Amino acid sequence: MTIVLIAVASYLLATGWLMIAVQRDGTASTRGWLGPANLALLLHGLTHYLAWRASGVTDLHFFAALSLVGLGMSTQTAIVGASGRMRALGVVVFPLAALALLVYALYGHATQPEPLDWRLLLHAWLALLAYATLAVAALLAVFLWLQERALRRREFHRWLRALPPLTELEMLLFRTIAVGFVLLGGTLLTGVLFVDNLLAQHLVHKTVLSVLSWLAFGALLLGRWRFGWRGITAVRWTLAAMALLILAFFGSKFVLELILHRVG
């Protein structure tokens, strides 16, 4: 538990560092947040590794999966932020990751996690990467919407200076969606190839919602390429597709594992 508390404290320290930087000069130009952020990421990953080593199998049940998605989002935020882009994203992502890790440490360990072979592990890791990447895209879409609304109203808040220019933020959004789209496609493909007896495992609804989300993200990318979709149109498609994905994965896992006590 000590490792978890240090990780949570490090996440919050990185968040506070970024918030102070934004409030002070509106740019979040400092790199001081990287130290505690990297420490938090290391300890976050170590928490899961030690739990897996103790149980002998990889636990990917609801709270474990939620924590791992938070770790993936934080890792991507740190990588992008270290290059000087969207550091302010950490103000939102790091507290969410800290909360997910804390909940996992307190309540999230499966009593008897089922062993998975390498094929199902590949499918699961692709899914977690896809969800983390597309969750970051959803947050970028929210930032884009807030930025556009503030500019339309001529409300030049200090936090606007912590964001990239509108066109750069939009480009980052679509690049993130493109990566997530490929990862989600790989998730669906490995699911078709490696997951047996789909009906018996109560996975039909999850598959249908995931396919609908993948198609929605694909339609958005096609609309961007063919018709130049941008702005509020991109935001609406991104958030709608992400809502489907949340229902597909965490919605179904919540019902199956926490309410019906079945393997999801």
The average confidence (pLDDT) of the chain is: 85
The arithmetic mean of pLDDT across residues 128-136, rounded, is 96
Q: Please list, in sequence order, all residues whose beta carbon lies within 8 angstroms of the beta carbon of residue 125, skipping any fewer than 6 positions away.
A: none
The position carrying tokens 């198609």 is 215
pLDDT-derived band at 153 (thresholds 50, 70, 90) equals: confident
Domain boundaries, the chain: 1-115, 117-264
Res 256: pLDDT: 60
What's 160's DSSP letter? G
CA neighbor of 103 nearest in space, from 127, 57, 74, 68: 68
Does residue 48 surpass a pLDDT of 80? Answer: yes
Place of tokens 């509108």: 166
Reported as a pLDDT band with limits 50, 70 and 90, residue 14 is: very high
For the cut 90, the answer to whether the pLDDT of residue 263 exceeds it is no
Query: According to the model, what pLDDT value does residue 179 have?
Result: 97
- Interval 163-211: pLDDT, tens: 778 888 899 999 999 999 999 999 999 988 877 765 555 667 788 889 9
3-state helix, strand, coil in the chain (%, to 5): 80, 0, 20
User: How confident is the model over 47-69, as a mean pLDDT?
Assistant: 86
- Per-residue confidence at 230, pLDDT binned at 50, 70, 90? confident
Q: How confident is the model at residue 97 (pLDDT cuts 50, 70, 90)?
A: very high
Is the pLDDT at 236 greater than 80? The verdict is yes
How far apart, in whole angstroms, are the C-alpha atoms of residue 71 and residue 49? Answer: 13
Q: What is the pLDDT of residue 24?
A: 67
Q: pLDDT at position 25, please?
A: 55
Global pTM?
A: 0.90
Tell me: pLDDT of 82 over 90.
no
Residues, the chain: 264
Per the CB < 8 A criterion, the answer to whether 212 and 237 are in contact is no
- 42 pLDDT exceeds 90? yes
Tell which residue, 10, 203, 169, has the closest CA to residue 89: 169
- Cβ-count burial of 121 within 10 angstroms (0-12 exposed, 13-18 middle, 19+ buried)? middle
| Whole-number pLDDT of residue 112 | 62
Range name among 31-45, 146-160, 236-250 with the lowest pLDDT average: 146-160
